[in-house]
Structure 1
Amino acid sequence: MANVLSTGAGALIAFQRALATVSHNVANVATEGYSRQRVDLATRTPTDMGYGYVGNGVQVADVRRVADQLATSRLLDSGGELARLQQLSALSSRVDAAMSDSTTGLAGVWSNFFDATTGLASNASSAASRQEVLSDARALTNRFNQLNAQLDSLGNEVNSGLRASADEVNRLGAEIARLNEEVSTNPNHVSNDLLDQRDRLVSELVGYTGGTAVAQGDGSLNVFTAGGQALVVGNTSSKLTTINDPFRPERLQLALDANGQQVRLNDSSLGGKIGGLMDFRTDVLDPAQSELGRIAVGLADTFNQQHRAGMDLNGRMGTDFFTIPAPKATSHAANTGTGTLTASMGDLSKLDAQNVVLKFDGTAWSATRADTGAAVPLTGTGTAADPLLVGGVELVVGGAPASGDRFLLQPTAGAAGGISVAIDDPNRIAAATPVKAQTDLANVGTGKVSGIKVTDATNANLLTPADIEFIDGTQYTVNGSGPFTYTPGQPIAANGWSLTLDGVPTAGDMFRVGTTGAGSSDNGNALVLSNLDDAKALTNGTVSLNGAIGGLTTMVGSAARQADYAAQAQEILHDQAQSARDAISGVNIDEEAANMIRFQQAYQAAAQVISTADNMFQSLIAAVSR
């Protein structure tokens, strides 16, 4: 009778625990990261009655957390990658919007500027046309400045994101380490909810850094970044900190501070949100800013060269129309020498937007790409007479560089933020060709001047009057010098200009070249300026300025679309991983409802056993008391 009562009471307690566990599962059906729990029941040790063993009912063997390490690891991996791609996509889309939107992009103000120069070519002496060119030029340079400022702002956001992420990683790592200590202290008596809490923190941590978690024999979890660096080992967490870039102090990088040792992390060491920030800066922001700068420099240098070949309304040769910032060459923070590099524009057609690291080995210089480390062609010795030449940039070495010193060359990064209009007087726009040619009225041949252009605006004799006199149909002199051979259809060149003739000149025919002079309505140079947007000035003469703008928009748009597509695809994979985890660890309401009914009925049956034992006991008392 006592055995019956004990068996019933044990069953009652066991099924009460089972019902409590089911209720706990149902209550946490919407709790993120919760793993359902299951009561494992086992028979009690039976009693040897001599004739055999009599069972003593049931007991709770364990309240087990239903989880699968493989499914959890897959979910961690997919979650870290999803966080990286979503961060990359969000930031890339902002660059794409800035570049492609009609109100913030280059296309509109670019077209307005060249339309204004076309209008000037139609009426070169018009004060209104000249003022419009200046106004549209300022609008164009302002747009370059604004776009560069927006990209700088995104760079600052990346810095802020790295700081905030590092702080959050440190907080999560410390909390995981604390929970690891609790778990490892008594691994056989750990709250299932505590393990869920730790898994949730690990998932958040991996969302920032990428990587994975590895279970240890004592129940603790070691967490590693995508690059394999340890963030949490047992009850110890490493500290993630921000440091200044050794070449660009305004830019932050990340380092791992473990046991007093600070190790700088490269871009591939981290995934998650931090990896997305780093990838955006390296793969989208830097290339976009450098290419924007290359276009700005290409426009300014091409326009300046042609503007210097013209004459303004004051009768003076044209000057630079735009100001162009010099390329940046900055030293590494660890350099030990006193060397400096002074950079200037060289050959525009060879100008490369790629950043380059230059290294001095004590006797010679070498150059490599900053992003890939690939070797870059480098010539020259670094003197003023023989500067270093790399990617269309000239560099003069100053001071005394030490062996191992390094410098970062940024040919065009940030150049769009420094471009501006160099003149403010409309009369200084050099719309005219500085020299003009006339056919002498006394000529008897049919030769006529069809066109004249400046080939070398720096020639000291450019504005010197010149008389071209034909000795016969195949020879001529220039101011008495010569004779020179004349080939029909070929230009006649001297003093930095060249002209072509239509028709057939004969002996004694004269053609005179002289300066255009002040107040001229000549539009020869304006015509050339208005077509410079189609001039193939970049990439060894294969890409026009218009083509470069289209290429920039396409590059940024393509990067944004690819990041978006990749994020969408990864979201599907993450949902699948989440579903696989939930199929094992998630709470199924229907299943829990069935368990609740089953355990409720068992509880009622156990209560009935106790009631029966009580009736038996009361009967026995009644029988004895008679």
Structure 2
Amino acid sequence: MDIRSAYSAALSSLNATQYASSITSTNIANANVEGYSAQRVNTATTYSDGSAVGVGVSSVSAYVNENLFKSYVSAVSQTTYAQTTADHLSQLLDQYGAVDSGSALADLITDLETALADLSVTPESQTVKNTVLNAADQLASTLNDLSSDVQQQRENVDGDIENAVTTVNQALTEIEDLNREISVKTALGENTSALEDARAQALLTVSENMNVSYFTTNTNELHVYTTGGLPLVDSRAHELSYESTNNVNAVTSFDDITLDGRDVTNQLSGGTIGALVDLRDETIPARQEELDALAGALADTLNAVLNTGTPFPPQNSITGQEVFDGSDAFSASGTFRIVLSDADGETQSVTDLDLSTYAMVSDLAAALDGIAGVSASIDANGHLTILSDDPDLGIALSEMDSEVGSDAQGVSDYFGLNDLFIGDDAGSIKVRDELLDDPSLLSCGKLSQDATLSVGDVALTSGDASVALALQEAMNTTIDFADAGAMGATTLTLADYSAELLSSFALEVSSVETQAETKGLISETLASDISNESGVNLDEEAARLTVLENQYSASAQVIQTLNDMFSSLISAVA
């Protein structure tokens, strides 16, 4: 090798070392950038006529453990699913109130029970009746609020689905654009490491929102698919489509999430979208089912008891709450008693109806209307109405041994003639307006069932506390609850069911929070492993700079030596 060849070799070393130093500096500068993979300069010997004449940069690459990265992509999807579920359920649980909070449903039920206990001692007290109705009204209002919170949470979740779909579409478009640029640069033999890092981050954004599968083509393009095998990115991006729904309620139907016009809602498992869909369609509606079960049991239990009684003094007119058509079949047995009474409870007329003789609702209405001094009909709203023709007399009812329909309800309960609550789910339950307007209509006692009751006899009294006692007992009586939401079939009191409902929900939230924490740790561990293998290690980069500095100095020394040799040669010739 002559001096000129040696000079060329040393210069190529300087250039390669300088380029390697710039890449190492770039690595150090991006040490804290998430997703950045440390780049490495690959050098190769250059040859001329079969002889080594120097060194050159052959490529710049970044090492990525693909198997480790695939595991991380999957873990990210699982983590965001768990975290999204935990976040939304925790928000909803906050609306329920803490288990030991005074706003908890069980405490409100206890308040009602306490008020009913007081009423059983002083059934004639209008103040105590008002306390009972206020307690019942607060309990119903709380159930209404919780039902509203549940549906509002579903609406929020539905809006989040639309936002997540938008985020996914932006990431898919980014992958498409990066694919195009990476493919061109790969064909030209140019460095694509930074672009591939950006594409990997876009893929992680997609996986944060949904489970995906993917592979890299021989042209270095990334193709992404749903778990059902539909393309999200191939030669182009295929965007998801979804519009959220406003004013969500328990019976709202939601649009499908579509991909190229196909419903893919069930293929978007995992990630934020998968969690949101499950929350909206299954997990949160389960909470509504539980509240509805409690509200229905509360209304049915107390209404059944209150309908065995009658107010003192009796009402001039009574309107049922249940809706019927006159032609509806009426299957009943036993006797139903109707008494016209004055304000002191003295009987003015008494009629016992044999229910087995009536085939339709209209037949019963006609029989009631046929009683002297009584008018009855099915009104325009489908409610049974019973009216005393004499404004100074009231209508007092006794279910006696009546049994109507498959549930064997008493007549009054069947038609809702003396209900405490109207509505049969958590969203609609409320105390009957007439009772809130006039607490004296709250029944505490029963109409006499004496077979010899006659005109002039006392049919009911203000001091009768039999119904008030029965209401109190009903609050402590176990009820058979069917499966509802996450609550299995059980037999509990109203208070115990409400406490179990809240406790069960709190345990579920605690469980999903623990899952989110566990899966988050797994993701963090995988991210750390990737960083250790592919990320920037400042100590290693600093050491590499020292090596490069020494290489550069050595190459420079060679050039300096060659310069000296040239100078000596020139001097010798001169």
TM over 0.5: yes
- Deviation (angstroms), 1:548: 2.3
Alignment of 1:463-502 (within 5 A): 465-466=452-453
Q: Indicate conservation of the 8 Å contact 2:160/2:276, yes or no.
A: yes
Alignment of 1:8-87 (within 5 A): 8-48=10-50, 53=51, 55-87=52-84
Distance 1:555 1:319 in 2: 42
Q: Indicate conservation of the 8 Å contact 1:209/1:226, yes or no.
A: no
- Deviation (angstroms), 1:112: 1.0
- Deviation (angstroms), 1:584: 1.1
Partner AA of 2:532 in structure 1: A
- Deviation (angstroms), 1:428: 0.7
Alignment of 1:265-344 (within 5 A): 265-266=265-266, 269-315=268-314
Distance 1:325 1:90 in 2: 42
Q: Deviations over 1:532-570 (max 9, x none)?
A: 223233337834323321331133122211111111110
Distance 1:550 1:108 in 2: 9
Other-structure match for 1:525: 467
Where 1:57 maps in the other structure, the secondary structure is: strand
Where 2:257 maps in the other structure, the secondary structure is: strand
Other-structure match for 1:378: none
Other-structure match for 1:419: 429
Where 2:536 maps in the other structure, the secondary structure is: coil
Other-structure match for 1:599: 548
Distance 1:105 1:582 in 2: 47
Distance 2:535 2:520 in 1: 19
Q: Indicate conservation of the 8 Å contact 2:96/2:502, yes or no.
A: yes
Distance 2:510 2:227 in 1: 24
Distance 1:247 1:560 in 2: 23
Distance 1:318 1:290 in 2: 36
Where 1:92 maps in the other structure, the secondary structure is: helix
Partner AA of 1:120 in structure 2: L
Q: Indicate conservation of the 8 Å contact 2:106/2:495, yes or no.
A: no
- Deviation (angstroms), 1:243: 6.9
Q: Indicate conservation of the 8 Å contact 1:228/1:269, yes or no.
A: no
Question: Does 2:174 match 1:225?
Answer: no
Residues 596-605 or 234-243, more deviating: 234-243
Q: Deviations over 1:489-515 (max 9, x none)?
A: xxxxxxxxxxxxxxxxxxxxxxxx976
Other-structure match for 2:146: 147
Q: 1:582 aligns with which of 531, 534, 540?
A: 531
Distance 1:134 1:16 in 2: 87
Residues 612-621 or 303-312, more deviating: 612-621
Distance 1:16 1:154 in 2: 59
Distance 1:414 1:8 in 2: 91
Other-structure match for 1:215: 216
Residues 289-298 or 614-623, more deviating: 614-623
Distance 1:92 1:318 in 2: 47
Alignment of 1:94-493 (within 5 A): 94-101=91-98, 102-187=101-186, 188-242=189-243, 250-258=252-260, 261-266=261-266, 269-315=268-314, 415-422=425-432, 423-424=435-436, 425-435=438-448, 462=449, 465-466=452-453
Q: Indicate conservation of the 8 Å contact 2:27/2:536, yes or no.
A: yes
Q: Indicate conservation of the 8 Å contact 1:15/1:599, yes or no.
A: yes
Cα pair distance change 1:414/1:579, threshold 3 Å = farther
Q: Deviations over 1:593-621 (max 9, x none)?
A: 11010011101111111112222222233
Distance 1:112 1:247 in 2: 29
Cα pair distance change 1:549/1:156, threshold 3 Å = same
Distance 1:270 1:240 in 2: 16
Q: Considering fraction of residues, name the structure with more helix.
A: 2
Other-structure match for 2:569: 620
> Please, what TM-score do these two structures have when normalized by structure 2?
0.74
Distance 1:413 1:621 in 2: 111
RMSD, aligned α-carbons = 3.2
Cα pair distance change 1:271/1:317, threshold 3 Å = farther
Where 1:237 maps in the other structure, the secondary structure is: coil
Other-structure match for 2:519: 570
Distance 1:7 1:128 in 2: 106
Distance 1:63 1:299 in 2: 72
Partner AA of 2:275 in structure 1: G
- Deviation (angstroms), 1:151: 0.9
Q: 5+ residue gaps in structure 2? A: 329-404, 408-421, 483-489
Where 2:44 maps in the other structure, the secondary structure is: strand
Cα pair distance change 1:429/1:249, threshold 3 Å = closer
Cα pair distance change 1:609/1:37, threshold 3 Å = same
Cα pair distance change 1:256/1:623, threshold 3 Å = farther
Distance 1:9 1:284 in 2: 69
Where 2:56 maps in the other structure, the secondary structure is: strand
Distance 1:418 1:169 in 2: 38
Q: Indicate conservation of the 8 Å contact 1:311/1:318, yes or no.
A: no
Cα pair distance change 1:18/1:128, threshold 3 Å = same
Distance 1:290 1:522 in 2: 38
Partner AA of 2:270 in structure 1: G
Distance 1:413 1:66 in 2: 65
Q: Deviations over 1:18-48 (max 9, x none)?
A: 1111111111110000011111121111545
The number of aligned residues is 463
- Deviation (angstroms), 1:622: 2.8
Partner AA of 1:208 in structure 2: N
Cα pair distance change 1:569/1:220, threshold 3 Å = same
- Deviation (angstroms), 1:103: 5.0
- Deviation (angstroms), 1:2: 0.9
Q: Considering fraction of residues, name the structure with more strand.
A: 1
Cα pair distance change 1:603/1:122, threshold 3 Å = same
- Deviation (angstroms), 1:70: 0.9
Distance 1:527 1:141 in 2: 21
Distance 2:288 2:447 in 1: 37
- Deviation (angstroms), 1:289: 0.8
Partner AA of 1:233 in structure 2: D
Where 2:509 maps in the other structure, the secondary structure is: helix
Q: Indicate conservation of the 8 Å contact 2:73/2:207, yes or no.
A: yes
Cα pair distance change 1:463/1:413, threshold 3 Å = closer
Cα pair distance change 1:544/1:66, threshold 3 Å = same
- What percentage of residue pairs aligned between the two structures are identical? 24
Distance 1:149 1:10 in 2: 74
Cα pair distance change 1:543/1:249, threshold 3 Å = closer
Partner AA of 2:234 in structure 1: V
Partner AA of 2:496 in structure 1: G
